Structure 1
């Protein structure tokens, strides 16, 4: 393999200094047109590609932002990345036979937003996922390779985040604001679920309702459950009278819980903590010939694409998933520009979207 050309080769061919070559590549408008053209001709002739490592070393930056998500058996990060790399999320009309295709759209959309904002600001995005004892080692490893790190709330200990934050900016995604010194970016989960459940209980006069929550370690789910309980209180319904099932945010688990619920009775409404779970419930109701919304009302939360194409279409709370990713990257770059900024907490608004499953 031939030796790769260097900046010195370009400078020699163009009869300029290496500083001029650097200025042409970084700020071409700051160099005279004739000089710029001569340098670019040399770059093209030699096939020169600037070294990102050399630039990073000189600037003491990597120009890379890290994003850490927990590893789950149902989370295929590589598939999510392949979809998010400049491509729109495919529209899937699910006939009930698809599971994996729609399991991870929340992560996909957040990733896509982070990638878009990183590209706009001249950064690359490094994504990592890990579980159990490997998380600490993985977070330390990725933190040594990036200029800033965004992590999903409750996936990394505060002690580890504080250790990392001594060197690079740290942003926590999801969950409520905490006085921990980190920047936080989240969606309005509690008020969103409160408004949605209030519609189910108020507009439809429902008293016989079941709630399917997500995993106990999810900060978003905790806020949504609080919002649901607030709606019960406002409707004068005793909280202990309402069954609450614990899911894991997957469509498959939604199906299993749907079967358990129907083994006892058919409630008038099933309120779910996310869309995948609600889609699983719809699968079970359709298979049993139970009409939605005539017999049972079903709602979700997130606003994923599949909910717009389910049978019937899914009433949900749309949260700005792409904007969450973008806001996390924006917070990191803002702190890189000004490390003295006070810790910021940004809560993005949500919107209740009424569709056929609960008009």
Structure 2
């Protein structure tokens, strides 16, 4: 039995299944006469003058082959145009060579992709401001995770399949992906617990960000709570700010929960009021940050609510949305209000003013997740891994530091 998950050791590996196929249409004699026959491993062996098992060792990089013999086999492969059957190799090795990455759907439930309504190859239009949106494909955070995972997979000789858990077919698509890959990296908040548990009984699963290994999964992430604590201490200690509010993301998201807990812990330690709930709540997107900023500005101008000293946003996309609106509405950042984020995406470095944030090496999260999956495949009996990636607080102009 697999000591890590209480199942047979091979249960965590994708096993090839013979799919039902349709009988091909009968070829005409003329077509059959001219149809090229695909080269086989036996053909390569005959051309190179070696055994089929030697060709197999070269093709699968499995076992020792003399350099001269390898050169002969590779030359025969090139001359014959031999292409190994991935399906056949997967059945033999009980591997597909494919790793999976599951990302959450970060767009609003009503969001749909709309093609550009342009009717000419190049149309000159006046930019009236930021377009509505905020759907998943605009998120730099998940793009960086994907970039790190893809590069690590490529470096190790694997391909990477990506699925976005977008309703209403999310569960069916993720189950299908789990049946095709050797292991699956799941970004926190992508899947419900029941589906995550089901998938983990089929292939090794590593969680990226979010939950910790107490939930029974390998995990790579950062210390969210500590990062927020450092930001709050800086706002109070370096700038003397006291009325500091937390702007949250989607409810129930593990990263968001940890960051809010870090905010409350820091507030308590510094003698600030400890809120029972976040000041405002968005959905991690820049568009949601803009909408929340419009509410803050409207309340301030009507006299219903004074501006707080600072806003600690749960992520950079939300904070950048605030900067978009506050600057356009004449609210000075940081003169009237300080703003901070979390993640360290490129937009935080180039915003005006530049955004104070906690930078985490996001691409490394994807890279390390692939590394954990490969380790699990190499030895299913390994103990659970919890890799905490170092982060750093980048102090910039948006909090008042010059």
TM-score range, shorter chain: 0.7 to 0.9
1:282 corresponds to: 323
Deviations 1:196-248 (A, max 9, x none): 12211221111223321111132101111111111211221112499610011
1:84 corresponds in structure 2 to none
Whether 1:192 and 2:227 are equivalent positions in the alignment is yes
Report how far residue 185 of structure 1 moved: 1.7
**Residue aligning to 1:44:** 78
Q: Deviations over 1:320-356 (max 9, x none)?
A: 2111111211111111111112222222221100111
Q: 1:203 aligns with which of 215, 238, 254?
A: 238
What aligned pairs does 1:255-270 form with structure 2 within 5 A after superposition?
Answer: 255-265=290-300, 266-270=307-311
Q: Do 1:68 and 1:152's aligned partners in 2 also have CA atoms closer than 8 Å? A: yes
- SS of the aligned residue for 1:313 comes to coil
1:349 aligns with 2:390: yes
Matched, 1:331 2:366: no
- 1:44 deviates by 1.5
Structure 1 Cα separation of the partners of residues 102 and 389 of structure 2: 20
For 1:32 and 1:177, the matched residues in 2 are separated by 47
Give the equivalent residue in structure 2 for 1:97.
130
The 5-angstrom pairing of residues 106-125 of structure 1 reads 106-125=141-160
Question: Which string of whole-angstrom CA distances, capped at 9 and with x for unpartnered residues, describes residues 301-334 of structure 1?
Answer: 1000011111111110001211111121111111
In structure 2, distance between residues paired with 1:306 and 1:144: 37
Q: Distance in 2 between matches of 1:126 and 1:28?
A: 25
Equivalent residue, structure 2, for 1:14: 48
Aligned to 2:198: 163
> Counterpart in 2 of 1:315?
356
The answer to whether the 8 Å contact 2:246/2:278 transfers is: yes
Taking only aligned residues, the RMSD between alpha carbons, in angstroms, comes to 2.6
Aligned residues: 342
The equivalent residue for 2:314 is 273
Match of 2:121 in 1: none
Deviates more, 1:250-259 or 1:337-346: 337-346
Query: TM-score, normalised to structure 2's length?
Result: 0.78
**Which of the pair has more CA radius of gyration?**
2
**How far did residue 29 of structure 1 move?**
9.4
Q: Deviations over 1:69-95 (max 9, x none)?
A: 22233699x9xxxxxxxxxxxxxxxx9
The Cα shift of 1:59 comes to 0.4
Instruction: Give the deviation of 1:96 after TM superposition.
Output: 6.6
Asked whether the 8 Å contact 1:112–1:322 carries over to 2, the reply is: yes
Alignment match, 1:238:
273
Structure 1 stretches lacking a partner, 5+ long: 79-94
Give the 3-state SS of the residue equivalent to 1:210 in structure 2: strand
Say if 2:249 and 2:283, in contact at 8 Å, map to a contact too: yes
CA distance in structure 2 between the partners assigned to 1:60 and 1:181 by the alignment? 25
User: Whole-Å Cα distance in 2 between the matches of residues 113 and 107 of structure 1?
Assistant: 10
- In the other structure, the counterpart of 2:10 is none
Q: Cα deviations across residues 101-145 of structure 1 (Å, max 9, x unaligned)?
A: 983111111111111221222221111112345333222211111
Gaps of 5+ in 2: 1-34, 114-127, 301-306
Q: Cα deviation per residue 1:156-207 (whole Å; 9 max; x = unaligned)?
A: 2333333332232111222232533211222111110111122112211112
Q: Which residue of 1 aligns with 2:208?
A: 173
Give the whole-Å Cα distance in 1 for the aligned partners of 2:313 and 2:243.
Answer: 14
